[in-house]
Structure 1
Amino acid sequence: MEAQTVKWLVLLALIKHVSTSPFKLEPGGLLATEGSCFEIKCQVTEDVDDHDANWFWMKDRLWVEKDKDCTSTVIYSTNNSTRPVSPDFANRVNYIGSPSSSWQNANSAGAKPLCSILICDLRRSDSGNYSLTFEGRDRWSSEEVTLNVTVNRCPLTFEGPAAVVESHVVTLTCSTLSPCPLRPHIQDVTQIDQTQVTGSHQDNERTTTTFSFTASRQDDGRVFSCQTQDNKDKYLIRNIKVTVKYPPTEPKLSMSSEVTEGQTITINCTVESFPQSTLTLMKTYPNPQALIITEENLYSRPINSLSHTFTVTSSDAGWYFCRAQNTEGSKDSEQKELVVKCECFSCGFLF
């Protein structure tokens, strides 16, 4: 009798937590497409103390009597050691709600804080019941919502080179299954008018659109999209960002032309390239060149920069230039002369 009473008390406690949970999910059946992303909307309706708490999202929770706890597939967790995320959902679920610290002020005036998640790269096996559990000074479980993932008749594949050398040909390929009634196309997202690129062919298995162009440095960072015609789902669009490797432009050398011995000066050198260049400040002599200073990857692409500050002596007089070198080539700046004037006393003149 006592055991039966304990079971009922546990069940009543669970019902109480579910019915009074401050975490409210958007009700109803949820429908999503395979390969897309879907947001499970969650709102915090009452103040929740997140101090020393952890919380996690579950799929298909099930009460285990002997453990007096729920078992489920954990899809998102703030404490992976106590509630590890299932490998099937790792890197596919992102929290897009409000910081949990804001949950403490859910009763204040204004919009309610959110506790939503976004599941991406959806699979048919993701269909099921989802809920949120909070474990802290209080334990809360939200109600469940049901997500149904439907088959995608037009799964897209978008292929292109990870990087291409300037003047080489870039070929982008956007394709889908032949049974798909919608033709795939490529758009240049970077262009203001988002010009559609055409040129399709079809075989027994796939419908394919390709686009080719000769790469220039101006194409570096250009973005193309692959999607089916009349697509309204932004998560079913595939993007490729073009990376173009090119040798350094002529480095720009900036320095004083005439200084006094003992004066501190700075010589600057900048260049544009990708990958980043190694910049070397050189000084010429009647004989072979001598290395002064070298900087590698001081700043990120596309501008590379070197700065060298020193106190001038008479031996620093001479001609200077900057050399930039990366995997695609090298380039020298123009040479500039540094004239060093000495103080009269240091030069041995007395008046």
Structure 2
Amino acid sequence: MTDCTAVVALEMSVFPFMVFLFFSSELVLVSSAVYNAEMPSRITALSGSCVQIPCTFEVPENELKNATSIFGFWIKHDFAFLSSGSLVVYNGSTNMSTAFSRIEITGNLSQHECTTVFYDLMNNHSDNYYFRVEIQPQDWKLTYQNPINISVSDSPQPLILKPTDLKEVMENTTVSLSCSAEAPCPKHPPTISWSNISESAHITTQLQEKSDKTLLVFSNMTFTASYMDHRKNISCTATYPRKTSNDSTVETTVMLQFLFPPKETRITIDQSASVSVGTNVTLTCKSKANPSNNMTFYWHKRGQENHLDLGEQLIFTVNRSSGGWYFCIAKNEHGIQRSEEIELIMAGSLDQSLIIGCVAGVSAILLTFLLITLFLRVQRVKAFTIMETDVSDQGQEKQVKTIYANGGFESDAELEMPKDENEEIDFSTPQITTAQVSGQETVYAEVRGPGTEMNQDYFTLE
């Protein structure tokens, strides 16, 4: 039976009861019992990296209980262990790898686990691979029919970014974006980064297991929707380390689109704010909003109850009453916003506020000047005021001016002169004059006769 190919990889020594069917000279062995190995049907690996194959298998429980040793094998291309078209790339009994730099079974075979890592993959490693188990001492052997197809690529798998549509997200609500990247080699998983993110963004990243037991890197970003992020492109980038000169990257982008009421509403004018009569003026109301295709604009002038016009632009010819403050109101289905006022100044007319400011400034200067002048006058009056000294002599007040004959000192006392200027003075009688200075009374005595020298004596009375 060497020319026969076994379709079901059950060794004849396993089950004593089998049915032999002949189809086109091929012998088909059909067993009354079927055992499976669970693994993904297909996995994509990155060249220069590794790939981990999640794997579990079924065997009779009594075989594992009585086993002294269990060996795992991996066969490339053909499940027939002894077929000329097959290649045993890993032999668990000898721990040898063929065509690969290294293959490692990381699962516990005694616990039905056959998870395996293939290292340093190259493009020519793309093929179907079958798992085989051998149990001693019973010599129970089985090659499982369901293979895993390993496809080796020079580029990583595309990223998955969700959600892809944010058109119905309202401003100020919490937005959640997720980016996932395949991790065929969990020992060297990709790193995920975000670009152009919002300031309020919070990011968490973790390694997750999919339903087929393969792994991926999952990154989740949450932030608060803002009109400032509207139409912003958010990018997610995965970087895969490889045993090559360069790492490999893959990127995906989503555009943020939020709903929000008018923002940053303002007025622009097509010329200077100072205009003359007869000039054509165009005022434009600008505002950010989404949706913006159904926005309404209202034009107003300060002091007027009703709005002037509707529309994004206000166009008119200036007359003498056109000067004043203008503003606009932008409205969409989510809200309204009023702009700042803009003043239209008539050429040749002064701004009322400017006039008031000038008058106030001039008045302040004049008032300051008057106060300074008044202060200086008061100081001059004080400087030239004659000091009065209170002189007391037995209850009588008398102003005396004392003159020192031999000095330049002059007191505040006033010298008493004779009432009659023609009255002759008798020099034969001593003339005595008294003055009180600093609490002392000084008596001057002067005697002078004709042809005699003046003799002056004075004494002081305490």
Structure-2-length-normalised TM-score: 0.32
Structure-1-length-normalised TM-score: 0.40
Which structure exhibits the higher relative contact order, with contacts defined as CA atoms closer than 8 Å and separated by 6 or more residues? 1
Structure of greater Rg: 2
